[in-house]
Structure 1
Amino acid sequence: MGVYWFQHKQWDVAEFGLVFSTMGIASIFMPALTGIIADRFINAEKLYGILHILYGTMLIWIMRIDDPQMFFYAMLAAMIFYMPTIALSNSISYSVLKSRDYDLVKVFPRIRVWGTVGFIIAMVFTNLTDNKATANQFLIGGVAAIGLGLYAFTLPKCPPQNKNTGQTSFAEAMGLNAFKLFGNYKMALFFLFSMLLGAALQLTNMYGDTFLSDFAKDPQYANSVIVERSTVILAISQISETLFILAIPFFLKRFGIKKVMLISMIAWVLRFGLFAYGDPAGGLWMIILSCIVYGMAFDFFNISGSLFVETSVDAKIRSSAQGLFMMMTNGFGAVLGSWLSGVIIQKYYTLPGGDKMWQEIWLLFAAYALVVTVLFAVFFRHKHQPEQVAALNHH
């Protein structure tokens, strides 16, 4: 979307920050809300299907929009439908696997990896069909989303686990029990760091493709593979994801959840630092290595974090708790990362002609990730307990 926004439409960078923040705005309330609905009122797989069909419809409409303000509102509506589906897909997976007595730590990553395979296919297909800067990217996404929505109705049934069965408090009746997790020091701290890491994820999502495509402005790099196939290069990140997802069971059982999440944060520092010094010639290896490191940075926090939430809550609030996790990472964290980075880059790191000071930008992001890493190592207390990982299968 960044390449489409800056090269095809030539719209403003500050407005782009706002548009990208729609993912975060929607995630502040929608995952938690739909989690409550799935826990209490409607089968999770049906809700998942309805949301994807609505999202796909919005994407197809977006491709016709030619006004940045209207684009913002349309993308906000699309994200309101899409963002809850990430947490719901986790809940559906956990529900189905537990009902069949599977080992979650071993089996869930093997299933989750196919989402990343889909991501790779989408990126490569969009790039190879020369649609990374055209409105057709929204058509591709829209058709795929509607197809997934229809398929969802064939999934195993995941009925509500927290139906009102008698006298309950207002909080229980409305499915708000999950918010009590913020009263637990460890969970509150976990959600805070989820927000800070969510901001880091937004930075690479927003600016990665634009950064690589901008090398075209330098004549010596104009025809390089980095410029012409930037989205394919970035797909290395998702290929890396597939490998690191499959490695999660080993790392979790060997090192525990805290160390795995700490490794993820160190990987974010490397992700940004390598981008700062990479280029399509002598520094090509740095760009490639940055994409490989991304797999560890993304998966080791998001997948491990989701499993951490699963071990820490009752099954009755499973969908709501996963929704809270998404609210903090892709909600408050995404809004923080999108809005602040847009303002800071526009004010301090954009030259008069509109070119961006990419090295300084990536070094700033690396410094941010390093501060978060140190704070997490110091303040998040969590002793590795192998039996807690094992409890995932019986929780």
Structure 2
Amino acid sequence: MRVLFSVSAWPGHYFPMVPLARALGAAGHEVRVLCAASQATSVQAAGLPAVPVLDGLDMVLQARLSHFWQAQAGDWPYPWLPVHPVTGQHLSRLEDFDSAAYRAEHRAAALAATARSFDAAVRFATGWRPDLVVHDRLSLEGVLAARVVSVPAVAHLWGPVGTAEEGALRLVPGDPTRSFARHGVAELGDPPFRTVIDPCPPALCPPVGAAHRLDVRYVPYAGGFGGSCPPRPRVSGRPRVCVVWGTSLTAMAGARSFVVPEILAGLTGAGLDVTVLVSAADAAALRVPPATTVFSDVALASALSGADVVVHHGGAGCVMTSVAAGVPQVAVTFAAEQAANADRVAATGAGLHVRGGDFDAGAVRAAVTDVIADLAYGRAARWLRDQNDRRPTPAGLVARLEDLAGARAPASG
């Protein structure tokens, strides 16, 4: 069968889909990935054929705008103002960005780009004729393409936030361009997704409403950006802590959200063996305390081997990779989705959540030492790992998708 993947313009949204796309290819099926031009290199690095025809939304800009509007509404919990949505520099006052003028100037162009993206997806799908479409929950181009060619569409989650959330977590875009009507298919509807692939273990399963849930094991994929962590001898008597911080949070929330220096200062003197994973630029600017080793371009999954606790910003990739490794987590969060991820892990007993609005290096140190001292956190983390390991592998999900697409005759009784 032919399977068309449709992805939004953010690698973390589709990296969890890569193992499934590879499994489909290994099973002899044809795979194509609709993406924005900005994502073509990442898609191709995964060994997947990219079709870079979408006009992907600028996810960093969208996040910055969201943060600005939260601050305007008095719902910004941090002691600093958000960054300027366009320049990325921290604002001294909200009046320094005229959001009404920005909307008036850019709305028409944004709607035109969205319509072009929908049209490009339909053009490719009508020419290639897929049997099934798999998409992330922000790539509605996949939903439209599937409806136009009358094949099933399956949403693939990237972490513990689902398709039937409330409030700020309800990250399902609409169709302001009326592209569904233009192409003669039913309106998007609410909920828009009928089938959802969920990589979360049962204790973390997010709400998907009335959609049919397909379980799959979370398999970490780092995008080819990181090698293996070099083996290091364990220091006797020192628990090992892994601190990982990507660049996306800084891009979206500003430099003040990069709290790794404060975290490391807080952990100094606690008798810990600390491994830090940050970008090369961030590593060059760090003052490295004793008993701390810094790596760049290392995959998190390899660095978690032997770790007693991991500290991160709550991103879905960090959360789910830590779940798959069975390592308890301390999340320091600066955005609504990351906070939800952290809360849901904490609710299982596999970690603690330190909210960025209340950030204090001492609070992070206390959380880390609590997780190490209380063995229940480690047991809960291993329980989540075991739940993940019992789920169908991506290869094991292929037959279910074949049945869904009608590309494989059901087994006779």
Question: TM (normalized to structure 2)?
Answer: 0.28
Bigger proportion of residues as helix: 1
- Comparing both chains, which one has the higher relative contact order based on Cα–Cα distances under 8 Å and sequence gaps of 6 or more? 1
Greater strand content: 2
Q: Please, what TM-score do these two structures have when normalized by structure 1?
A: 0.29
Please identify the structure whose Cα radius of gyration is greater.
2
